[in-house]
Amino acid sequence: DYIFTTFPNPTSDFVKVETKDTNVMALAIYNTVGRLVYYERIEDSEVNFQRIIDMRNWQPGIYNIILHTFENKFSSRILLYKD
């Protein structure tokens, strides 16, 4: 079982975040200095939650993706590079 996946990793443009957990409350992404660069509050629980995040205008680097559920928070890192 997995909590959530992020792919492709590394990426140069978009990242897809998905989970089968239906208790998703929020999705947050932080840059390498800890600044919040993306936040989405999830109002209604979704089965097979997924989002495609456009990172084309973001600076290259490592980003920490946090998925908040009712009980916990889970994290994953993704590398954004420019061609």
Residue 82 confidence (pLDDT) above 60: yes
Query: What's residue 48's pLDDT?
Result: 78
Predicted TM-score of the model (pTM):
0.91
pLDDT surpassing 80 at residue 49: yes
pLDDT per residue as tens digits for the range 52-81: 999 999 999 999 999 998 888 999 999 999
Strands of the sheet with 61-69, listed across from one edge: 36-41, 24-30, 61-69, 73-80
